[in-house]
Amino acid sequence: MTMQCQILLALAAAAAPTASAFDLMSAVLKSPIYKNLLVPASRNMMINTAKENGVPWADAVAWIRGATTWELDDDADVAVPAYYRQPFHAYEPGNLCWEAAWEAEVAGRAVGARNYPAFGADGEEAFRGAFDDALVAAGARTPAVGETILDLGCATGHGTRRLAAKFPDAASLVGVDLSPYMISVARRLPELCKGDNAWINVVSDDKRVSYARADAAALPFGDSSQDFVVLSFVAHELPPAATRDVVHEAYRVLRPGGQLWVTEMARFAESEFIHLYAIAATPPHAAGLRDGGLPQAARVAGVRVHP
């Protein structure tokens, strides 16, 4: 009998919000208050969090800006959906700019410090480690020798590199992102970080790791070609229809018995509305997580959902 693919969900739990909280958030996201007040405030909060926890935001960004002459090195003919062109993460062009790519990993460290303040600058690793543990508890297996990993929405590759270090037996790891700016930075970092550098994370030149620019909802990979597909902190940036398309694509490219690992914020807690806003609500589609869109999308695709 053919083994069925699985989707394993690791979601950050929080108390269920009231309808009024989501109505308020939806109204705010559509108002000038969002762009002119809350987005700058969210960005400043992240920068201040970084500074307070020993994350060298300014130094790291200054280093990567000047580390090379930055040019887009991707000529893939990829259609960019309308939702992806919207402002989010405090950037007017969204992820379609150098600033978003230069600051992606630094912002990740700030988010980790905010979620795990006891760990300070190492909060992101504790944050990601907690999700690792949840995936294992849900039934995630360790990639065996020769198996492949596809990391969707990889940004500049920190999560992809982390997977490579964690799973040395994997034959290949491909990070996929729709932003040519993210992919360009991801590809250049191993070379730029060979000598002395001021980058925020350790970057090894692992030849198993490569990057491809593509829409996660229209992957350039064959049917049943991957053993693992990873979707980490991406769904909150997608409208519900795109989430369903991504899950369908993951199911298409997974081999029988393959697994889709999803890590994500589950929902917002009204009592922590401002706190969570800075972490996950700046993308315009974060509110779409409120209706259990990830598990539903998986079931529509015919994938077993755990837990």
Closest by Cα among 248, 254, 238 to 302:
248
pLDDT at 101 over 90: yes
pLDDT digit string, tens, across residues 125-184? 998 998 899 899 888 999 999 999 999 999 999 999 999 999 999 999 999 999 999 999
46: number of CA atoms within 13 Å, CB side?
25
Work out the average pLDDT over 96-105.
97
Q: Is the pLDDT of residue 15 over 80?
A: no
In this structure, is residue 1 part of a structural domain?
Answer: no
Q: By the 8 A CB rule, do 252 and 223 touch?
A: yes
- Where does the pLDDT of residue 268 fall: very low under 50, low under 70, confident under 90, or very high at 90 and above? very low
Average of per-residue pLDDT values in the chain:
82
Token representation of residue 294: 């990830």
Distance CA 17, CA 144 (A): 41
User: Is 33 part of a structural domain of the chain?
Assistant: yes
pLDDT of 269 strictly over 60: no
Residues forming a β-bridge with 264 = 11
Model pTM score: 0.83
Tell how strand 226-232 and strand 148-152 pair up: parallel
Examine the pLDDT at 14 and tell me if it is beyond 50.
no
87 within domain boundaries = yes
- The angle formed by the CA atoms of residues 48, 53 and 59, to the nearest 5 degrees, is 70
**What mean pLDDT do residues 58-75 have?**
93
Name the helix (H) or strand (E) containing 230: strand 226-232
Q: Which one has a higher pLDDT value, 233 or 64?
A: 64
Token digits for 173? 């790891």
The band of 63, judged by pLDDT with boundaries at 50, 70 and 90, is very high
Percent of the chain whose pLDDT exceeds 70? 75
**Looking at residue 133, which CATH number applies to its domain?**
3.40.50.150
Q: Is 2 helix (H, G, I), strand (E, B) or coil?
A: coil
Taking the CA atoms of 157, 148, 167 and 123 in sequence, report the sign of the dihedral they define. positive
Does a structural domain hold residue 18?
A: yes
Whether residue 94 contacts residue 84, with contact meaning beta carbons closer than 8 Å, is answered with yes
% of the chain exceeding 90 in pLDDT: 54
Whether the per-residue pLDDT at 229 is higher than 70: the answer is yes
Residue whose C-alpha is closest to residue 305's, from 2, 10, 1, 9: 9
Whether 160 and 175 have beta carbons less than 8 Å apart is answered as: yes
Instruction: Please give the residue range of the domain that contains residue 34.
Output: 6-306
pLDDT confidence bin for 3, thresholds 50/70/90: low
- pLDDT above 80 (res 51): yes
CA separation for the pair 113, 51 (Å, rounded): 10
Residue 83 within any structural domain of the chain: yes
With respect to residue 224, please indicate whether it lies within any of the assigned structural domains: yes
Check residues 152 and 273 and name the one with the higher pLDDT: 152
More confident residue, 35 or 86: 86
DSSP for residue 117? G
Residue 237 has a pLDDT of 84
Count of domains forming the chain? 1
CA–CA gap between residue 141 and residue 204 (Å, rounded):
24
Nearest Cα neighbor of 13 from 283, 263, 304 is 263
Answer yes or no: is 113 within a domain. Answer: yes
Torsion, Cα 58 63 66 70, to 10 degrees, reads: -100
